[in-house]
Amino acid sequence: MKKIKICHLYGNLLNTYGDVGNVMAYAHEARKNGYEVEIDTVSIGDFFDWEKYNFVFFGGGQDYEQRIVQSDLLEKKLNIKKYIENNGVFLAICGGYQLLGQYYYDAYNKKINGLNIFNHYTVNQENGKRFTGPVKIKDCNSGKIYEGFENHGGVTYLSENQNEFGTVIDGNGNNGTDKTEGFRYKNTIGTYLHGPLLARNEELCKDLLKLSIENVNDN
């Protein structure tokens, strides 16, 4: 039987608002399609085997946990980059999305270094303000509509060479001003949408699984 191998990056630390539900929804969809599923939590001190996985999930977190993972994350940078460049399917939500970029200034205005694989950067809103509430976006590639909710103090700005994941219809998205939501590069998506996103938006779950299946080997 063919197997889908899932990596839940820092699943024991970064998992706000039930983000693990994305892994569960994805695994469920894979089983429905006749695949066996293996899920590894890859966390502090663990080797990230970039050639092993068909799907990597990197969830959201409180500032505290984001700070804990930052140095370990940098040790995994090379392999994460290889996975992404090799068209690996990668979904990063909120805190995970922020950490794929250059940096995140937390609620105390202290800098947390990101992986710097992508050029987006995140600063905090003044006076502890947070963006909370429902979000609706339109996928820039497919035109599909996704729903979720956001809860972030950080506001993110994309660089000119980055494409947003979606356009904001309702809610705030990356920064509340430019209508961009998340980013997409190859098969990597960063987004602020909790939900869990893949449980609330079955179409997206199916599309990501399809992309993974294209890369599955018999083993």
CB of 153 to ligand GLN, least distance (A): 4
CB of 154 to ligand GLN, least distance (A): 3
Where does this chain touch ligand GLN (CB under 6 A) — which range of 24-32, 59-67, 77-85, 140-148?
Answer: 59-67
CB of 218 to ligand GLN, least distance (A): 37
DSSP for residue 194: B
| Residue selected from 41, 43, 62, 113 as contacting ligand GLN according to rule CB under 6 A | 62
When asked if residue 16 is in the footprint of ligand GLN (CB under 6 A), the reply is: yes
Q: Is 130 known as a binding-site position?
A: yes
User: Are 130 and 150 contacting, i.e. CB atoms less than 8 angstroms apart?
Assistant: no
Residues near 129 by beta carbon (within 8 Å), at least 6 away in sequence: 153
When asked if residue 61 is in the footprint of ligand GLN (CB under 6 A), the reply is: yes
Give the residue ranges of DSSP H helices in the chain.
Answer: 20-32, 63-75, 77-85, 95-100, 197-200, 202-213
Residue 194 a catalytic site member: yes
Does the CA dihedral 90-46-217-118 come out positive or negative? positive
Strand partners, 152: 131
Where does this chain touch ligand GLN (CB under 6 A) — which range of 28-36, 79-87, 150-158, 178-186?
Answer: 150-158
Catalytic residues: 94, 194
